[in-house]
Structure 1
Amino acid sequence: MLKTSLTLPENVTQTSASSQICLLDPGMEDHNDRPSENLGDLIIQQAVLREIDSLFGSQNIAKLSTHAPLEETHLQMIQASSIAIVGGTNLLSSNMNHYNQWKIVLRDALRLRKRVLLLGVSWWQYQGRPNLYTLALLHLALSYKGSHSVRDNYTKKKLQSIGIRNVINTGCPTMWPLANLQPDAIPQTKATNALVMLTDYSKNIELDRKLLELATSHYETVYFWPQGAGDRDYVTSFNLPVTILERSLPALENLLKSDVSLDYIGTRLHGGIRCLLAKRRALILRIDHRATEIAQETGLPSVDRADFAFMERWIREPFVTKITVDTAAIECWRQQFRTKPA
């Protein structure tokens, strides 16, 4: 019988006050717990909190946003915690002095004292070798004792290229429950209706219009879920017959839990993964490296956003969804927090 214990960073001792876990959370827009503007971050947040709850149970969790700069009180909170975890998203980059979704700077990293662990984190996009600033920042902030969880081999290689070798490719935590998915759980043939998602920060008016026209020509009702803040205005600009859902996670959940026969096709990665978790047939249209890297390692159903011939076949013909999740890698990452009872 295993019990959870904490692997403490160097120079930190176990006390009753140090039982707090600090989550650096992309699902929070600010340190006041305002939800992220990108609802995909909330899908990731759910997966991260599921994992933390499984590992640490009822221990106190202090949450700080990765989207907002750290102030003195926040740094003290991290230092007082037994462990700090960055919970997902593609917030690493090769030039974090110029582009940093994770809002830390070198002086913050000095205070973090090599205590931060990564959970399901990836690189922003395909880039060159990390610069010296990024190398210094990550070496100062990230634990050199514990194992870091990243969601693709590209990120693993990027970290290894700057000497951070304690890295495990676990895939994205949003996909971990798919390991238990039965082969016939997801329908192979076309549904009656479709759910489409587009991406406000990666617009392609010609291709996105063609996608909506394809969906409306093949499905009785086309639903649209606006994951990003600008998605609703963008889809409305096409003036096509789509049913737009409320921009909230419950609105998506309610549709997926309903009896509505539904396929997903769209450019939102985590919206698509959420559909797979709900046992819905899904095809993610690749707009950047995230879906490309995850798909080639897991079998996530995906295709280039311009490949309409494949989309037509996927809609019309039977398609078997086969997802591979590296459960051994996941368990290896989890095991660092577990010890046998004395």
Structure 2
Amino acid sequence: MNIAIYDTSIASPNVGDQIIMDAVNREIEAMFPDAFVERIPSHDRVSVRGRRILKHADYVIAGGANLLFSHWTRQRHWKMGWRDLPRMKNKLVLLGTGWAAYADPPDFLTARIYRSLLCDNAHQSVRDAYSARYLSAAGIKNVVNTGCPTLWQLTPAHLATVPQNKARDVVATLTDYAPAPHEDRLMLETLKRQYRNVHVWIQGKQDKAYLNSLGVTGLREVAPHLSAYDALLRCEDDLDFVGTRLHAGIRALQSGRRSIIVSVDNRAREMGRDFSLPIIERSDISKLQDLIESAMPVAITLPQEQIDLFRTQFSRR
């Protein structure tokens, strides 16, 4: 079997896409242990070689991220071209994929393209109920709301190891493409009062410039590499996460760290609503201090039945 993956980490200015693809790769290796896997970019146009990969693939997997959109003719994250479409007809499988932003329902052309591309004999996995409703509006009914695959290992047994009370130090993140200087500055100043050391992981390409513009001093920057972030999560004795980057917060939970994710877009808001992620809206950032000082049991509710349904569907073929 040949599998093509739309890899969201290629040509991406956001290291968080590497966190998503880490989970996607783990799931694909488990579901297709004997398959030959090739990758093409989602953030860039597919080359002639890439279209050949699409043509010869048995399934084309789109893993996580903000790939779905409502209007084909407008700017979009997923750089599919007209010549790509015939090569992937009825072969596309979504794996925890989500809608790019709050928008109108998909228009007629976009809905027709989705119906043509999405494999009609496979369950399509989306990251939240909002994305499921919009695919349903496009006429796609074989959809399961599994959440992002980054959540799938956050089992009750794992979450029982996550501390409920405030740690000594904290790692924070900012979001370069969704700035709110007043609220973000207040977040960092609150963290400085509450923790001994405040680390800031540079996840996005312009995060450092944005951080510098806020004028908050005494912070410890973490290099913009996933390995550097993982090393901090692994080696720091007593560490919380507080920040606006959803997948940095999920990575911290994967590492057994207490996390508070500050919601700045539909991803955190919708997954927070569906799966009880530890979310605070950025508009409520004045409440952050009380939240940090309170005990926080982690009670993420995984849709395990839907996850298992998606995971096992290919083993029966």
Task: Give the counterpart of 1:312 among 289, 303, 306.
Answer: 289
Show CA shifts across 1:162-219 (max 9, x none): 1111111111100000025345311111111111100000001111111111111111
The structure where helix makes up a greater share of residues is: 2
Do structure 1's residue 25 and structure 2's residue 2 form an aligned pair?
A: no
Task: Indicate yes or no: 2:133 matched with 1:133.
Answer: no
* Shift in Å, 1:73: 2.4
2:10 is equivalent to residue 41 of structure 1: no
Residue of structure 1 aligned with 2:266, choices 277, 283, 289: 289
User: Quick check: which has more Rg, 1 or 2?
Assistant: 1
Please state whether the residue corresponding to 2:97 is helix, strand or coil: strand
User: Which position in structure 2 is the counterpart of 1:97?
Assistant: 73
**Structure 2 residue 222 is matched with structure 1 residue 245:** yes
Classify 1:301/1:336 alpha carbon distance in 2 versus 1 (closer, same or farther; 3 Å). Answer: same
Q: Superposition pairs for residues 1-342 of structure 1, below 5 Å? A: 19-29=1-11, 36-239=12-215, 240-339=217-316
Judge which range, 65-74 or 214-223, deviates more: 65-74
Equivalenced residue count is 316
Listed as ranges, the gaps of 5+ residues in structure 1 are: 1-18, 30-35
2:66 aligned counterpart, secondary structure: strand
**Native 8 Å contact 2:200 2:221 kept in 1:** yes
| Distance in 2, Cα, partners of 1:318 & 1:78 | 49
Does the CA contact (< 8 Å) of 2:170 and 2:199 recur in 1? yes
- Provide the C-alpha distance between the structure 1 equivalents of 2:159 and 2:2, rounded to a whole number of angstroms: 40
Partner of 1:13: none
Do 2:159 and 2:256's aligned partners in 1 also have CA atoms closer than 8 Å?
Answer: no
How high is the TM-score relative to the length of structure 1? Answer: 0.89
Contact 1:186 1:276 in 2 (8 A): yes
Deviations 1:125-162 (A, max 9, x none): 11112112211221222112211100101001100111
1:44, CA displacement in angstroms?
0.2
Q: How far 1:318 moved relative to its partner?
A: 1.2
Q: Secondary structure at the match of 1:247?
A: coil
- Give the Cα separation in 2 of the matches to 1:245 and 1:325: 31
CA distance in 2, matches of 1:281, 1:258: 15
Q: Distance in 2 between matches of 1:106 and 1:152?
A: 28
How far apart are the structure 2 equivalents of 1:302 and 1:226?
A: 20
Identical aligned residues as a percent: 34
